[in-house]
Amino acid sequence: MNATDQVLLAARPDFAAIARWVAPGARVLDLGCGDGALLRYLWEARQAPGYGVEIDDAEVLACFRNDVNVLQLDLESGLALFQNGSFDYVILSETLQTIHRIEFLTREMLRVGKEAIVSFPNFGHWQARLQVLAGRMPGLQDGPDAPPVGVVNEAAVREIFDGAPPVGRTLRAGGREVQVVGVINDMPYRDRRSPVPPTLYESAFQRSAWGGYHVFLRTDVPVARLEVRLREAVARVDPDIPVPHMRAQTEIIAQAGAKERVLTQLLTLFGGFALLLASIGLHGVTSYAVTRRTSEIGVRVAVGARPGQILWMVLRQVVVLAGIGLVVGVPAAVAGAPLVGSLLYGVAPTSPTAILAATAVMLGVAVVAGLLPALRAAKLDALVALRSE
């Protein structure tokens, strides 16, 4: 293997994983081969001749420059150009996520080749979900025979290493020494409200017998329909592998936040009821004030006051009352914020945005509550109003 191939292997360790599946001298068909780097590596490492299939013009030209046999085809149309059993292995490497007719192409792969190898990016991998703050993540080089390695979170750096750089140091976990090779940011472990505990993440390749695995599947098929098919698929591979209860991620998230959701619904119900009572009371006070000032309103209309001026006169009284309530209520709410802070997540009880939103809602409700009496006052006839005195 030349220096170029060694650099390539360092950048794409998945090539080595695929090569372990391919027998020396086997015939290979690489679907979505790109510039032919995998085929070139398989020839160097396993003396496995092969063909590539690619649709992109630039990649096809790159294959020619790399001395890789390539056919320009659209995989969505199938592999009709190839006879049954033409190849020992058909490889679909990091192309699966671009295919629409996945089941059709899979059947074609099994028709053309004796075995099919499918690899795809792990979009749920730590490197996609977490930020590596220092060092590196465990990789394919950290296999079962390599020294145990792992990464720790920020909480572990603070509480175990007293803030000192942990990369290169060791921790004792599970009865063995584990070397820390990286640091990642904190993320919720059990639920969103609990403090993040010091956590060590180890490579699954090095702890294959510890506690089993959690497998996540992205699908639009309901769990109830998918579960039977998944159990059958696992049983065909190894009937002794236990498959526990399957749940949708939405169900897990909903269960984790069930307490907060119930409390939020109760607080919303009581808050809405209190707002309704306040609006009814404000409506009653305003209606009573308009009734008491009927003669005054009649005199104002008689001397030339316009309906808009009468409307604003009444609404101004409503706004003043609501303003007095806000002047008293907002400081009281801020003072009592610590009492409800534990019920909130993702927002501070003294958040300016939340306070401004609540103030706007209260003013809006006050205006709506006083609007009907104000409109009634604006429509008063001067003679009727004076005669009522």
Residue 120: what pLDDT? 75
pTM exceeds cut of 0.85: no
> What would the two tokens of residue 323 be?
């303003």
DSSP, residue by residue, 98-149: G-S-HHHHHHHHHHHEEEEEEE---TTSHHHHS-EEEE----TTS-TTSPPE
Residue 8: what pLDDT? 43
Amino acid of residue 192: R
Q: Which domains can be identified in the chain, with CATH numbers? A: 3-119 (3.40.50.150), 126-213 (no CATH), 214-251 (no CATH), 258-387 (no CATH)
Distances (CA, A) of 344 to 197, 270, 291, 341: 21, 16, 44, 5
Give the CA angle between residues 14, 77, 95 to the nearest 5°: 15
Q: From the CB of residue 202, how many other CB atoms can be counted at a distance below 10 Å?
A: 19
- Rounded distance between C-alpha atoms, residue 112 and residue 304, angstroms: 94
For the chain, which residues score pLDDT lower than 50?
1-5, 7-11
| Sign, Cα dihedral of 216, 97, 202, 127 | negative
Q: Contact, 179 vs 202, CB < 8 A?
A: no
Q: Contact, 113 vs 89, CB < 8 A?
A: yes
Phi–psi pair at 91, nearest 5 degrees: -110, 135
Please give the helix or strand (H or E) that residue 366 lies within, else none: helix 352-378
Residue 190: what pLDDT? 66
Nearest to 152 by CA among 140, 141, 164: 164
Residue 122: what pLDDT? 64
> What would the two tokens of residue 222 be?
């309901």
> What would the two tokens of residue 384 be?
């009727």
Burial class (CB in 10 A: 0-12, 13-18, 19+), 87: buried
Residue 279: what pLDDT? 78
